[in-house]
Amino acid sequence: MDLSSSEDQEIPRPPPEIVQSERGRVLEALGPSLIDIDEILRCTGVETRKVHIILPELDLAGRLQRHPRQLVSLVEP
């Protein structure tokens, strides 16, 4: 017996559309020095949800290095 009703189930939202200028602002905020993800959010003005999509894209592309305590840095090509 399924105790959850269809009303209780959350419908997933589609991913947001990310424009190239938003990706560019995130890339500009990154460098070889460590930066906190919250600082990226503050200095770029890009929505949290979008930054949390852009960073894994960069990570998968081998351009981002993750460090402890939500710190990241750009891997120079």
Instruction: Give the chain's domain count.
Output: 1
Can you give the pLDDT at residue 10?
Answer: 82
Can you give the pLDDT at residue 36?
Answer: 97
| 50 found inside a domain | yes
- If we measure between CA atoms, which residue out of 67, 27, 74 comes closest to residue 46? 27
Record the pTM: 0.79
User: Whole-angstrom Cα distance, residue 16 to residue 65?
Assistant: 24
| 69 found inside a domain | yes
| 66 found inside a domain | yes
CATH code, 28: 1.10.10.10
pLDDT in tens, the chain (77 residues): 555 555 567 888 888 899 999 999 999 999 999 999 999 999 999 999 999 999 999 999 999 999 999 999 999 77
Residue 66, domain extent: 20-74
